[in-house]
């Protein structure tokens, strides 16, 4: 018997294989050196090795040519297409910046254990698999891989009761949301007999309740008297036609809707949208800032890719059954995120509520069910991710000279007179805040108004009205931060440590990237157009 260990087409998962094997080597490297060397030395070497691994992963991704190929491997459980390729590329770039930005913070907060950086790499591997998952089991395992890493990262500061409490809260509510995902998946499997996204599409995309027929209708040729029914039946693959016609199966749309709602609620927990957001402010506030940095920036795009594969690719024909539930969640999320941030006095809590409101805007584009909605969803997520990366980078890099080591979080007043002490950093922070608030002519304004236009074109007038009004309300707390930079009156200013050359270069690269997109957003819109076109090529 010939055993084929690795088919040629399975080379398409080479980035994931390389990252996984590299993590194993880094574990061995760190374990052997940990007994004889001081921890900071191991951590610095491991951090740069992690950056090198991610750079090589990025090279492997760019070299894959998946913009023209679409390959499914491992019994059709993992798919490599343009959607997964581009989302993994964005996640890799974000992760590279995150790891480089948190280096000084880890040293100041004495998070010297080498396991911290290994857990970050495990979370990135889970997000890669989540972007490429093509069935519910693979998606669940990928979610659990990145979630378990995040639970430990939240509770990593063992001498802080706030960090331990955050890790426990995150673990309990994360396990609860995972159980909801499993329950919804079991319902879908009980109805269809499969967990594969492509088979879901073949089974349910063209089917409507009552269109599944029994054997007697087929043999008597009564069913095909209707031209519409005949066309629907012929669109099934032969294997699924046989399964439908010869087993007398009738599916209940209410039970199908229940399974989809459970999966939606589970993923909404991961996105921290209202009313499933109650864990987010406490967990993000109590976790180390480097962990919160990762939670709020990196995983959002991967979860939306999974949502698109399930609700657009597999169950697009059922859009009317899950769309109204999402609309209610959108309104609650935008209201909570906009008004909840008004009373916050800590910068980290304010950024959490800002993240909640922006997830609401992303869900507007997701719920439209149109080609333009997918395009604007990708645009918004990319701009939000890089804006969040910029804001959290400045949050991490601005270090007070007084009591910094004992004070982990920052109040808004800790940014007092930043405009005078570091004018360029304050200018960059102001630019990003105005962009994320939606001030014209920033790139954030262009993508936000495009999201509102897609909602109006889909006749979601009430949602568009509420979101526009709440966007105006949320602008207040962004402007309040800018006011503290430049116009706050104080007898004594704040002193900050200077930035080193490496961090200054990274901040400058982010700043000029924003300026380029302000001047010429064509590149972003072209990439998002290709993303949306190739993501729905199997649907429309």
Q: Which of 154-163, 294-303, 526-535 has the lowest mean pLDDT?
A: 526-535
pTM value?
0.87
Name the pLDDT band for 233 (thresholds 50, 70, 90): very low
Name the pLDDT band for 226 (thresholds 50, 70, 90): very low
Over residues 146-155, the pLDDT tens digits come to 999 999 999 8
Three-state secondary structure call for residue 212: coil
Query: What are the distances in angstroms from CA 413 to CA 109, 284, 344, 434?
Result: 21, 19, 12, 19
Note the helical H segments in 398-460: 418-421, 423-437, 443-457
* pLDDT, position 206: 60
Cα separation, 80 vs 58, in Å, equals 15
Three-state secondary structure call for residue 53: helix
Over residues 393-440, the pLDDT tens digits come to 888 888 777 654 555 566 777 777 777 777 888 888 888 888 888 888
Answer yes or no: is pLDDT of 69 > 70: no
* pLDDT, position 362: 92
Tokens 């200077």 identify what position? Answer: 498
Cα separation, 140 vs 130, in Å, equals 8
* pLDDT, position 35: 64
Determine whether 83 is exposed, middle or buried from the number of CB atoms within 10 Å of its CB (0-12, 13-18, 19+). Answer: buried
Name the pLDDT band for 236 (thresholds 50, 70, 90): very low
Cα separation, 329 vs 319, in Å, equals 15
Rg (CA), the chain: 24
Q: Average pLDDT, stretch 153-174? A: 88
Query: What are the distances in angstroms from CA 55 to CA 50, 91, 488, 509?
Result: 9, 12, 42, 17
Q: Average pLDDT, stretch 383-390? A: 89
Name the pLDDT band for 220 (thresholds 50, 70, 90): very low
Here the tokens at position 527 are 């990439």
């Amino acid at each position: 018997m010939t055993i084929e260990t690795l088919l040629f087409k399975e080379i398409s998962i080479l980035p994931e294989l390389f990252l996984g094997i590299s993590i194993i080597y880094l574990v061995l490297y760190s374990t052997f050196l940990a007994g004889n060397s001081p921890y900071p030395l191991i951590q610095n070497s491991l951090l740069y090795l992690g950056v090198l691994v991610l750079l090589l992963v990025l090279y492997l991704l760019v070299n894959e040519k998946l913009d023209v190929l679409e390959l499914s491997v491992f019994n059709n459980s993992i798919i490599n297409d343009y959607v997964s390729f581009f989302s993994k590329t964005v996640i890799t770039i974000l992760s590279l910046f995150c790891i480089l930005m948190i280096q000084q913070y880890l040293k100041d907060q004495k998070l010297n254990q080498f396991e911290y950086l290994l857990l970050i790499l495990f979370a990135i591997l889970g997000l890669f698999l989540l972007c490429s998952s093509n069935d519910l089991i693979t998606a669940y395992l990928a979610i659990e891989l990145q979630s378990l890493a995040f639970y430990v990262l939240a509770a990593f500061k063992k001498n802080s009761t706030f960090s331990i409490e955050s890790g426990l809260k995150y673990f309990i509510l994360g396990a609860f949301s995972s159980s909801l995902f499993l329950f919804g998946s079991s319902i879908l499997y009980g109805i269809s007999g499969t967990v594969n996204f492509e088979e879901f599409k073949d089974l349910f995309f063209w089917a409507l309740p009552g269109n599944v027929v029994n054997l007697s209708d087929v043999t008597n040729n009564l069913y095909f008297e209707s031209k519409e029914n005949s066309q629907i039946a012929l669109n099934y693959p032969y294997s699924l036609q046989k399964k439908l016609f010869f087993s007398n199966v009738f599916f209940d749309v209410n039970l199908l809707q229940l399974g989809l709602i459970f999966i939606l609620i589970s993923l909404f927990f991961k996105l921290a949208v209202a009313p499933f957001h109650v864990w987010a402010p406490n967990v993000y506030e109590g976790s180390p800032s480097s962990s919160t940095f990762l939670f709020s920036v990196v995983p959002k795009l991967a979860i939306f890719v999974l949502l698109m594969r399930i609700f657009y690719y597999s169950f697009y024909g059922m859009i009317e059954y899950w769309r109204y539930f999402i609309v209610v969640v959108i309104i609650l999320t935008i209201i909570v995120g906009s008004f909840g941030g008004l009373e916050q006095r800590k910068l980290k809590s304010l950024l959490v509520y800002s993240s909640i409101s922006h997830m609401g805007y992303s869900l507007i584009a997701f719920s439209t069910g149109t080609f333009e909605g997918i395009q604007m969803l990708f645009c918004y997520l990319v701009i939000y991710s890089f804006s969040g990366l910029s804001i959290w980078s400045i949050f991490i890099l601005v270090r007070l000279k007084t009591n910094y080591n004992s004070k982990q979080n920052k109040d808004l007043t800790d940014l007092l007179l930043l405009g005078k002490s570091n004018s360029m950093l304050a200018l960059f922070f102001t630019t990003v805040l105005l962009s994320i608030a939606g001030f014209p002519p920033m790139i954030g304004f262009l993508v936000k108004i495009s999201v509102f236009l897609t909602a109006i074109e889909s006749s979601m007038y009430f949602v568009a009205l509420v979101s526009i009004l709440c966007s105006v309300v949320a602008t207040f707390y962004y402007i309040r931060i800018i006011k503290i930079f430049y116009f706050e009156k104080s007898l004594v200013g704040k002193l900050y440590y200077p930035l080193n050359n490496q961090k200054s270069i990274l901040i400058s690269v982010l700043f000029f990237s924003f300026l380029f997109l302000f001047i010429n957003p064509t590149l972003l819109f072209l990439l998002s157009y290709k993303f949306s076109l190739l993501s729905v090529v199997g649907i429309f």
